[in-house]
Chain A
Amino acid sequence: MNPFDGRDPREAWRAYDPDAHFPWDRRRATRLLRRAGLGPTIAEIDVAVKAGPSETVRTLLETSEPAPLVTELKDVTAAALATNDAKNLAASWLLRMIRTPAQATELLTLFWHGHFATSAAKVTDPRMMLHQHDQFRRFAFGPFDELTRTMARDPAMLIYLDSATNRRTRPNENFAREVMELFCLGLGNYAERDIQELARCFTGWEVHPGAFRFYAAQHDRGEKEFLGRRGAFDGDEGIRIVLDQPAAARFIARKLVRLYVCDEPEPPDAFIQPLADELRQGDWNLKPVVRRILTSRLLLTDPLADRKIQSPVQLAVSWIRALDVRLSTQQLNTDLASIGQGLFFPPNVKGWPGGRTWLNSATIVGRANVLGRIAREAAQRSGAGNLASLAGRQGWESHDEVVSGFASLLLAKPLDEADRRQARQRLESGPADRSQRIADMLQVFALLPEVNLA
């Protein structure tokens, strides 16, 4: 039985208003921040608790990076680019994910990277990958139509989809197919003929040399007919026609629900339509839709929201930010690739499917190992001391306080009694160094199934 059945969509998307039954507390604030970004720091949770849900969401959507951080990260990215290695670019991106206060923007940048999936395995010039990546950040909150038009001209995208050349006499259907199937409409909302006609719109759109160029002589200026429209459309007009389809807004809205709320079950159209309408009314700007989702009762009070599995990046970065760890993002990137999410190297044009596909017998162990390594690093060094001093600053003195404190910081669900006992035992019986004992306790958390939930 689908748990959405029989529920009122208007009630689900109604703004959450704290009450005695669903108070605005630390746990709820942590959930919101974890869903909206890549994992909060303790300081961010403190601020959110005081500010309340509306103000927290407003801050999430409006926060930008301070100028000194922008400069610092720009230098790091430039240095990574100078090595001509996309893996160093990925490491610099991870550093940004950890350091940036603009968490909502960064989560959406990651989202678009998986949506308009392009791999450095085929696009060997890291400059192109960086250019594409910058567009994802620039258009993180939309407008989605402009983002799509930008991707239609993006050299990395065109090379990846073998559309570096697209000739009038032999239109290349790859990009047109992905625009319809993966980027804008989804399966079942177009016909094969529509793909062929849309491909003609993009003829003459090429990459040469290393940059987009419109080769007018190769453009098919003839009349095309697809998705119920007829005319001598070019690529931009072709995209507009695709996005005019009612399915387009629903497609993106559904993806946003999956990003923020739950991996499963699939919400019915009745739950998606209000968001789709808002997306279209906002001219494809995502902020109103994201605001609605993040402030909704569905996200903040409903147990449906427990059905969300963190991606490897979200899992690792959330622990790193929460524990204020300093570690090698180069090694972290390698670790994340080993558990299924190598940044700049999505497995195929569909990106990362997410949800349960993150978990298998190998990746579950791998994820625990990654978290274990983060915990060990945190034991030795972190931003202002180690785990023991972090616990001290939070006032977590007794073993119970330490267990509860770290559990509420790192786990989406409360510990059951057996797990709590095991964590406490590890804290009581470990080495002399308190920080090391806490790290050992965190290894218990790393092995819990609940650690994978957002």
Chain B
Amino acid sequence: MIHLPGHSRPLPRSVRWCLIVAVLLGLNVGRGAQVQADDPRPANPDATAAELLADSTVLYAELADPPRLVQRVLTHPLASKVQASDTVRGIYESPEVAKMRLGVGFVELGLGMTWQSLVDNLTTGGIYLAVDRGTRQPIIMVKAKDAESLERLRDRVLKLARDDARGKGQPDPIQTGEHRGLRGYKIDRFSFVTLGPWLVASEKSEALKPVADAWLDGQTASLAKIPEFQTARAARPTTAFAWAFVRLDKLRDAGLAPPLVKGTTDNPVAELLLGGIMANLQKTSHVSASWTLEDDRTRLLVSAPHDDEWVPQSRKFFFGPAGQGAAPAMLAVPGQLSVLRVWRDIGGMWAAAPDLFDERVNGELAQANSNLSNVLGGKDFGQDVLESLGAEIQVVAARAQFEKDAPTPAIKLPAFGVVVRLRDADTNKRLWKVMFQTLIGFVNIGGGMQGLPLLELETEKLDDAQLIMGRYVPPEKISDETVVGMHYNFSPTMIVVGDRLLLASNRQLAVELLKAVRSPAPDAPANTATPTGEVVNTELSVDGPTLRAILDDNRRQLVAQNMLEKGHDRAAAEAEIGALMSIAEFFRGVGLRVTTLDKTLRVSAEVRLATEPAK
């Protein structure tokens, strides 16, 4: 335990760790308060982190301006709302956070400055993380405002640590060593050295020596000189707070990325969603990532060089011919919760299964194909059914609407639907109609055995479109006391219009999708909304307010579930669910995109923030 001067009681463990962090944030440590009389001189005192790191660095990450980031967070339009929320206040006043706040307070008291000033002084030049292929040890580099600031802080913190050890009758906790006139230190598990305004730390002192040598002699083969690094760094958004660079080619060569070189997978769903990206990661030289924070969004953008020739034949289902497979224009329906639009040749993936999946999965797929073919009147599921589907696929989820006189289920699930083009529509629409009818039959057989009501098959003509649906027979009597089962969320519906196949979990969504297909909204995001030539392969968008509305529709259920999960009474459950909903108010939506442009693959993920209250 550490004692503060004038305080007889030991400081709690949290304080001790805060002090160790302070040490790691830029101590220039020495025995007593003496300045080193003969500090070695650096070859380039203004070297950047990348110039100090060797070209064998395989991972590099930077937080270039932490004080600016702190300022950005504290002054963000959402900051005051977040701080005012009951949930955040509750967390802030919880025993665990109170202990941490106490620790921060002690550090501020001991160092004579606020934590913001500490961050300003110690991290002005940035915080950097790197891993070298040779040592395989992460090192942290922190650049302070200047060497003098570090020294002053060092003296204060060292005194605190030594006073504490002395008070407990323990030896000096700080060990020292030397390398070419530079003094290195060890406290707990961490070794560190100061190089002018730089603090460099690692769990292994051996990892520090190359950086120290580069400081003294200059680095002839530095990370900064690698062409890929320079190109990637130049493309970094100027507003990014954080940026990372990973040399996948070196990692693969060193055997440090086994999943990237594995030939087959055992997860067909993951392959469908990510297969093309895996193909890229198996060949690309590097990946870079940047993180930005703006008033209305925060975004992570990952980029990597890309060449369609890297994509093996078995994975052409992902990017399409010549990598030009583009997702369809985005549809918009009322109450839309999410839309996922992709280019995926599912039939192609099925055909390539022997090359993509391991033996177990291939066996299961073969069995599934055989079973399904039995109920398809001899048709092959893969060749006949999956290959009838075009590659432009859109999956939509929306807040469910219920007809006025229909039973409304106690649990209101979102409706979901799929829109896809059919190949050889005239032939294949009949196939799909028969399959749909067969599905309804199977659901009735299984459901009947479970005591569920049956689906009644109905057909309807909507101009040139034919609608087929199954509707659950409603209960004979419904009172206010009746708990309507979840199955009443579903009235599975299929519509074929032209060469489009629309499948939806309920009739209402199917009809809305039909309207959207016939008359796309003029302002709906489309492939051409992106910079010219950029191909949108995958896009997912989730709408925050609609998600909140769906949660609100099911609030009663969520409260009851909370009571069962946590043993709360209703008031406590309402408070907890209310807190979750209030946090959800901060989010306007989530987006994910996979695009290719100019021989670059980009994956971006963003969270859209609600800086104004939702209307």
Which A residues fall within an 8 A CB radius of B?
Answer: 72, 75-76, 78-84, 88, 91-92, 95, 98-99, 124-125, 127, 210, 325-330
- Given the interface pairs A75-B556, A124-B451, A125-B451, the reply to whether A82 lies near B566 with Cβ below 8 Å is no
Q: Give the interface size class of chain B.
A: 20 to 34
Decide if B564 touches A91 in the complex (CB within 8 Å): yes
Asked if B578 is at the interface (CB within 8 A of a chain A CB), the reply is no
B567-A325 in contact (CB<8A)? yes
CB nearest neighbor in B for A88? B564
Contacts of A72 in B (CB 8 A): 563, 569-570
The 5 A-B pairs of least Cβ separation, nearest first, read A79-B560, A82-B410, A326-B567, A125-B451, A76-B560
Q: Is the Cβ of A84 less than 8 Å from the Cβ of B486? A: yes
**B 573-594 to A, binary, CB cutoff 8 A, 1 in contact else 0:** 0000000000000000000000
Tell me the bound Cα distance from A283 to B409 in angstroms. 43
Contacts of A95 in B (CB 8 A): 563-564, 567
List B contacts of A327 (CB < 8 A).
566-567
A210 neighbours in B (Cβ, 8 Å): 451
Is there an interface contact between B560 and A84, defined as CB atoms closer than 8 Å?
Answer: no
With most chain B CB atoms within 10 A of its CB, the pick from A79, A83, A210, A330 is: A79
Which residues of B are found within 8 Å of A81, using beta-carbon distances? 410, 483
Interface mask (B551-564 → A, CB under 8 Å = 1, otherwise 0): 00000110111011
User: Residue A83 contacts which of B411, B484, B566 (CB distance < 8 angstroms)?
Assistant: B411
Q: Which residues of A contact B409 (CB under 8 A)?
A: 82
- CA separation between A124 and B447, bound complex, in Å? 11
Q: Which residue of A lies closest to B558 (CB)?
A: A79
B498 CB-CB contact with A under 8 Å: no
Whether the Cβ atoms of B564 and A80 lie closer than 8 Å is yes
Instruction: Tell me the chain B residues, 53-83 only, with Cβ under 8 Å from chain A.
Output: none
Q: Residue of A at shortest CB range from B564?
A: A91
Checking B451, B485, B564 against A82 with a beta-carbon cut-off of 8 angstroms, the contacting residue is: B485
Which of B450, B559, B564, B570 has the most A CB atoms < 10 Å from its CB?
B564
Q: Which residues of B contact A98 (CB under 8 A)?
A: 567
Is B188 close to A, CB under 8 A? no
A79 and B556 in contact, given A91-B564, A95-B567, A328-B565 (Cβ under 8 angstroms): yes
Compute how far the CA of A327 lies from the CA of B565 in the bound complex, rounded to whole angstroms: 7
Identify 19 new A-B residue pairs, CB closer than 8 A, beyond the known A95-B567, A125-B451. A78-B483, A79-B556, A79-B560, A79-B564, A81-B483, A82-B410, A82-B484, A82-B485, A83-B486, A88-B564, A92-B560, A92-B564, A124-B451, A210-B451, A326-B566, A327-B566, A328-B567, A329-B564, A330-B564
Which chain B positions have C-beta within 8 A of A125? 450-451
Q: How far is the CA of A95 from the CA of B570 in the complex (A)?
A: 11
- A60 to B561 CA separation, bound complex (whole angstroms): 30
* B159 lies within 8 A of chain A by Cβ: no
Please measure, in the bound complex, the distance between the C-alpha atom of A29 and the C-alpha atom of B206, giving whole angstroms. 71
Output the nearest chain B residue to A211 by Cβ-Cβ distance: B476
Chain B's closest residue to A92 (CB) is B564
Q: A residues within 8 A CB of B567?
A: 95, 98, 325-329
Which residues of B lie under 8 Å from residue A329 when comparing CB positions? 564, 567
Q: Which residue of B lies closest to A90 (CB)?
A: B564
Evaluate whether A79 and B410 lie within 8 angstroms (CB atoms) in the complex, with A84-B486, A125-B451 already known.
yes
B572: which A residues are within 8 A, CB to CB? 326
Complex CA gap A91/B561 in Å reads 10
A124 — which chain B residues lie within 8 A by C-beta? 450-451
Encode B124-136 as 1/0 by CB contact (under 8 A) with A: 0000000000000
Q: How far is the CA of A80 from the CA of B557 in the complex (A)?
A: 8
Kindly state whether residue B568 has any CB partner on chain A within 8 Å: yes
Tell me the complex Cα distance, A127–B482, Å. Answer: 10
Give Cα A84–Cα B483 distance, bound, in whole angstroms: 10
CB distance from A148 to the nearest CB of B (A): 26
Looking across the interface, which residue of chain B has its beta carbon closest to that of A159? B451
For B565, the chain A residues whose CB sits under 8 A away are 328, 330
Task: Give min CB distance, B228 to chain A, whole Å.
Answer: 51
Question: How distant is the Cα of A404 from the Cα of B411 in the complex, in angstroms?
Answer: 48
Nearest residue, chain A, Cβ from B481:
A78
1/0 contact string of B191-230 vs chain A (CB within 8 Å): 0000000000000000000000000000000000000000
Query: How far does the alpha carbon of A325 sit from the alpha carbon of B568 in the complex, in Å?
Result: 10
